[in-house]
Amino acid sequence: MESRIPRHVSIIMDGNGRWAKNRGLDRLYGHKEGVESVRACMRAAVEDGIEYLSIYAFSEENWNRPEEEVQGLMDLMIMAMKAEIPTFLENSARFIALGNMSRLSELFNRTVKEITDATAAGTKCCMILMVSYSGQWDILQAMKKAAAQLSEKDFLSLTQEDFGKYLVTAGIPDPDLLIRTSGEVRISNYMLWQTAYTELYFTDILWPDFREEQFREALAEYSKRDRRYGKVK
């Protein structure tokens, strides 16, 4: 593989439910197995020198799922975050969570702060949990934030670069590579602004089966892409 490594890789983790259904198991078993894939990809990202790894864990639309499944997912994420502190420390990785945090429980937000503080000294990779997030929500909240903070004249003169400072990902480079598992070929309302020129990689592999080997196959494919950003080369 060429040494051309993306700075920021983002993943839409899809297929947990189907993975479990194929095995006659409850959907939550798929989500539990998916945690192993997150750990594997973070380890590979650190080893390969990727600065940012973001994962789409729970969308704004996911709140419409059955209450029992939503609560199970929240409990699982809280347990997984706490359990992964040693993994973050061993890999000198830090953790942050971005999204509509006001919709999440006090316990969830308290756990996020605990993990964020505990891993703040990590220097090799930043793992970003995108939770209670959607691209449309992000753009709307950014617009409201900008309108509240700026005069009408300054708001109307906002550039694209200026507007990006109001997104929840402000200060984080846009994804170079977006991976989606499970065979679905869409980005499902994810980072709509930030992925304008992101390279997209789709695979039929269900998320619980996506590990280091599959992650590096995606990196190998990325290394072959010619990124022109609308320019002629």
Burial (0-12, 13-18, 19+ Cβ within 10 Å), 140: exposed
Q: Where are the alpha helices (DSSP H) in the chain?
A: 16-22, 27-48, 67-83, 85-90, 106-118, 135-149, 152-156, 160-164, 212-224
Q: What are phi and psi of 179, to 5 degrees?
A: -105, 135
Of the candidates 26, 62, 100, 209, the residue annotated as catalytic is 62
- DSSP for 157-209? T--HHHHHTTSTTTTSPPPSEEEE-TT--S-TT-STTTTTTPEEEE-SS-GGG
CA distance 48 to 41: 10
Of the candidates 14, 138, 174, 176, the residue annotated as catalytic is 14
Q: Is 64 a catalytic residue?
A: no
Encoded amino acid at 50, one letter: I
* Other CB atoms within 10 A of residue 25 CB: 14
Q: Is 14 a catalytic residue?
A: yes
- How far is the CA of 36 from the CAs of 30, 39, 102, 230, in angstroms? 10, 5, 28, 37
The alpha carbons of the chain give a radius of gyration, in whole angstroms, of: 18
What is the set of active-site residues?
14, 62
